[in-house]
Amino acid sequence: MSICDIIIKKRDGGELSQGEIEHFIGGYVAGEVPDYQAAAWLMAVYFRGMTPAETMRLTEAMAFSGETLDLHDVAPFILDKHSSGGVGDKTTLVIGPVVAGLGVPVGKMSGRGLSFSGGTLDKLESIPGLNVMLKIEQFKKQLREVGLVIAGQTQELAPADGKLYALRDVTGTVPSLPLIASSIMSKKIAAGADAIVLDVKVGEGAFMHTDAEAIELAELMVKIGRGLGRRMAALIGDMNQPLGLAVGNALEVSEAIETLHGRGPDDFRQHCVDVAGEMLLIAGAAESPAAGRAKAAGTLVDGSAWAKFRQFVGAQGGDVAFVDDPRKLPQAPVVRPLAAPRAGYVAGLDAGEVGRTVVDLGGGREKKGDPVDPAVGVMLAPEGKVGGHVAAGQTLLWVHARTDGVAQAALARLAAAYRVEDEPVAAPPLIHHIIR
């Protein structure tokens, strides 16, 4: 079976068999298929798509490309969540501790930044010493002792997705429904979760731009998960503007810490409570969605989520002093404000452009293997969100950069990403749909 023939078949719109997909994925993991052929195959999938059956085959091939976790010797029921990506989406840093703080174990395999979308692992690595590359036994030990573990793919767990994930990021093939669905679900299946809640983002700062696309992706992933014996639910969350105020790795960690202390931006805190409530519901730890949300919100008040976060950071080797005092986290030497051009109401803020600007500041990757600067990013003013009212010259946001020249270029881009109008504008809904 020729790899080139498999690429050609998909290029020409054919449906790949289970054997063809397994041969391609197995060869890529073994190093027998070079990156240039994998990139060609990804581009063929991007343009030609995949049938639901193909996507299921691809998910299984990637999930079982290495070892898989059976976590039932650790806990009888393991819960996981995943976001399809967004700008300012640091939800795992809050939701994981919230749910684990209520006694429901959360074992999560996360990823790095993709295109303009930040990655949980990159954010966590802003904390000195924190190790996200755990061996299977380390993963299980921490889940048993702490109840919360967040780790990346290794050569042991879903190695095919680890390699393809990095390649998609730098080949323009990120926003493909079957590639997104198989990437997310292969990690979930490999990590051994019994139930999975999906946080699918929609809007200008997401890979799905319309509700119809987001619902299609969510329903596909729910179908894959149920077909493999998992309990599934999905929320469609808004990403037409950044979630919260912080965009950039260390800035987002600081905002997550604020939220775990019961503070933080209202929209971010509420989104975390909504997703955590669904996780508690699907785990049987809450009798209704409202009860789940109430329990989740309570952990941000009584300190149990914060205590679990500190325990998690320490268990994975992170220096807890840096989360106890977030001012110690990496900080950019240059901080410059963006002033509102006129008085009015913020009617639009292109989240995708904010994300791309942060990548150009050094907060993301232009090519595979690039280092990420944890200190750079963008911090919005509360009035700089959609629906806010600003006076002429009032600060909309601050750019955190390495040099003044880079900061000025970012400010020019971000000014063009804003739309200010005379009439009041309502903030968009946080959650568009829920699929249970």
pLDDT at 197 (0 to 100) = 95
Q: In the predicted model, is pLDDT for residue 156 greater than 80?
A: no
Q: How confident is the model at residue 113 (pLDDT cuts 50, 70, 90)?
A: low
Question: 34: how many CB neighbours lie within 10 A of its CB?
Answer: 12
Distance in angstroms (rounded) separating the CA atoms of residues 28 and 39: 11
User: Is the pTM here over 0.95, yes or no?
Assistant: no
Distance in angstroms (rounded) separating the CA atoms of residues 361 and 425: 30
Which tens digits make up the pLDDT trace of 171-222? Answer: 999 889 999 899 989 988 888 889 999 999 999 888 889 999 999 999 999 9
- Please, what is the average pLDDT of the chain? 93
Tokens of 298: 């309570």
Tokens of 430: 């946080």
Catalytic residues: 82, 161, 168, 183, 187
pLDDT at 85 (0 to 100) = 77
Q: Residue 148, CB half-sphere, CA atoms under 13 Å: how many?
A: 25
pLDDT at 130 (0 to 100) = 97
pLDDT at 368 (0 to 100) = 63
Q: In the predicted model, is pLDDT for residue 10 greater than 90?
A: yes
Question: 105: how many CB neighbours lie within 10 A of its CB?
Answer: 23
Q: In the predicted model, is pLDDT for residue 168 greater than 80?
A: yes
Question: Could you tell me which residues come within 8 angstroms of residue 34 by beta carbon, excluding any fewer than 6 positions away?
Answer: none
Distance in angstroms (rounded) separating the CA atoms of residues 255 and 310: 15
Say how many residues make up the chain: 436
Q: How confident is the model at residue 165 (pLDDT cuts 50, 70, 90)?
A: confident
Rounded average pLDDT over 324-331? 97
Distance in angstroms (rounded) separating the CA atoms of residues 160 and 61: 8
Radius of gyration of the chain (CA): 21
- Strand pairing report for 395-401 and 334-339: antiparallel
The DSSP H or E segment spanning 212 is helix 211-227
Chain center to CA of 296 = 20
Distance in angstroms (rounded) separating the CA atoms of residues 108 and 78: 9
CB distance 267 to 189 below 8 Å:
no
Which tens digits make up the pLDDT trace of 12-57? Answer: 999 999 999 999 999 999 999 999 999 999 999 999 999 999 999 9
Q: In the predicted model, is pLDDT for residue 66 greater than 90?
A: no
Q: How confident is the model at residue 365 (pLDDT cuts 50, 70, 90)?
A: confident
pLDDT at 116 (0 to 100) = 65
Which tens digits make up the pLDDT trace of 413-433? Answer: 999 999 999 999 999 999 999
Distance in angstroms (rounded) separating the CA atoms of residues 296 and 291: 9
More confident residue, 427 or 365: 427
Distance in angstroms (rounded) separating the CA atoms of residues 136 and 145: 14
pLDDT at 117 (0 to 100) = 67
Distance in angstroms (rounded) separating the CA atoms of residues 397 and 242: 12
The structural domains of the chain, ordered by start, are 3-49 (1.20.970.10), 79-326 (3.40.1030.10), 330-421 (3.90.1170.30)
Task: Lowest mean pLDDT of 142-156, 208-222, 258-272, name the range.
Answer: 142-156
% of the chain exceeding 70 in pLDDT: 98
Chain center to CA of 227 = 24
- Strand pairing report for 377-380 and 395-401: antiparallel
